[in-house]
Structure 1
Amino acid sequence: MDQLSIYLPGILLAYSIFIVGVASPGPNILAIIGTSMSVDRKSGISLALGVALGSLTWGILAASGLSAILSKYASALLFIKIAGGIYLLWLAYKSFKSAASAHDLDVKKLGQEDQSPLRYAISGYTIQMTNPKAALAWIATISLGLQPGSPLWVAAAIVLGIFILSTAVHTLYAIAFSTSFMVSAYSRARRYIQTTLGVFFSAAGLKLLTDRN
């Protein structure tokens, strides 16, 4: 119980960073939205599941790599936090820039209507695994949740928890954006959403850059 109280805030913070991150559409989200809008809901969900599996793969790679580094070089956490903080501030800049833009979502469908669900899932996995921003996002997320000397279960809780969240959130994107109402509602609220995301990313980035614990 004592260990849980020590590490739980970091785990919850990592979850929060992920949830806010997926609220800011990147290539994977835009592909899910575009496919759900232009093809159908089933294809969008298949694509979403592939993206979630790719997120799990990146999470395992990031967690195992950072855990191995920290087990030998605890001081390396400082450099990891600096890299993660800079990335989060870059996300904040992108969010504020998007909020100031007059353009709506630039989406596109992925593949053809006659593709199988497996093909869409493979496409989603490929998009996530070939996106370097996904790796940077995981580094920032893991560095917020891990501390020097953290037991293995902390990294496992972060990775598995975010995989569950990734599956749920990406699937919800596919379901929601297969309806014209949600597309219209998001377009109206886009600037407010992006401004809020910019504030959150700024705060998280500054926390990483100023935290020396």
Structure 2
Amino acid sequence: MDMTPFLPAFIAAYAILLVGASSPGPAVAMLLGISLEQGRSAAIIASTGIAIGSATLNVLTLIGVGLILSQIAWAMMVLKLIGAGYLLYLAYGAAKKAINPPAVKVAEVTPESWPRLFLKGYLLQVTNPKAIVFWLAIAAIGATAGGGLPVIALFVAGGFVISFTCHAAWSFFLSAGHFRRLYARARRGIEATLGLFFTFAAFKLATSRT
């Protein structure tokens, strides 16, 4: 199977996913609390649940977008504009945090079994409206357009790896106090960079021809 025609769209979609999964949010707060209260192993189990939830949303949005585009010719442009608008919203939020960075607060947790930790991570992801819209924005790139089941399976697998790696990294690094202090000092620069990236991604998505 020749993946060369799909590489540019794959890279664009994965770049957005990498930045989004690396950005602090409800999942990071939950993982930080779990890693501090129950250890890194527990946080990694929850990270697996988050990654599986992310893959679930990925599949559902790919199926939904495919059905819409098969019925409505102009739907791709509408979807691209919606996706670009959401990326601009993320850029605006990152800019606000760069100007006035909020504190990273630890979510309170109680000791739980590994199945419950997995389920907690999974449900957090699949019920998050922002995560759903985020995946719609990625689907608008059309990374798997024209490809068969192997291309879709490869795209979903890559998305799972990125999501799991990013959230597991948060679990490892933010469980150590000196990493949290380092992140706090660099927060403004990180958020400013995120704002610029999301603005650029929104422009590229809105003006792309595919």
Question: Could you list the per-position Cα deviations for residues 78-132 of structure 1 after superposition, in whole angstroms to 9, with x for gaps in the alignment?
Answer: 01101100000000011111111143213313x312x111111111111111101
Distance 1:56 1:148 in 2: 18
Give the match's secondary structure for 1:199.
Answer: helix
Asked whether 1:167 is paired with 2:167, we answer no
- Using a 3 Å threshold, how does the CA distance of structure 1 residues 123 and 148 change in structure 2: closer, same or farther? closer
Q: Which deviates further from its counterpart, 161-170 or 145-154?
A: 145-154
Asked if structure 1 preserves the Cα contact closer than 8 Å seen for 2:86 and 2:133, the reply is: yes
Task: Give the superposition deviation at 1:29.
Answer: 1.8
Question: Could you list the per-position Cα deviations for residues 47-86 of structure 1 after superposition, in whole angstroms to 9, with x for gaps in the alignment?
Answer: 1111111111111101111122223334211011011000
Give the match's secondary structure for 1:144.
Answer: coil
> Number of residue pairs matched?
210
Give the match's secondary structure for 1:207.
Answer: helix
Aligned equivalent of 1:29: 28
- Using a 3 Å threshold, how does the CA distance of structure 1 residues 180 and 32 change in structure 2: closer, same or farther? same
Q: Which deviates further from its counterpart, 163-172 or 190-199?
A: 163-172
Aligned equivalent of 1:185: 182
TM-score by length of 2: 0.92
Q: Superposed, which structure 2 residues align to 1:36-185 within 5 Å?
A: 36-109=35-108, 111-113=109-111, 115-146=112-143, 149-185=146-182
Distance 1:103 1:49 in 2: 27
TM-score by length of 1: 0.90
Distance 1:133 1:195 in 2: 20
**Counterpart amino acid of 1:26?**
G
Distance 2:34 2:101 in 1: 23
Asked if structure 2 preserves the Cα contact closer than 8 Å seen for 1:42 and 1:117, the reply is: no
**Counterpart amino acid of 2:67?**
A
Distance 1:152 1:69 in 2: 18
Task: Give the superposition deviation at 1:33.
Answer: 1.8
Q: Which deviates further from its counterpart, 143-152 or 10-19?
A: 143-152
Task: Please point out which of 194, 206, 210 is paired with 2:207.
Answer: 210
Question: Could you list the per-position Cα deviations for residues 2-21 of structure 1 after superposition, in whole angstroms to 9, with x for gaps in the alignment?
Answer: x5332210011111110011
Distance 2:3 2:72 in 1: 24
Distance 1:178 1:195 in 2: 24
Distance 1:73 1:148 in 2: 15
Distance 2:115 2:179 in 1: 26
**Counterpart amino acid of 1:42?**
S
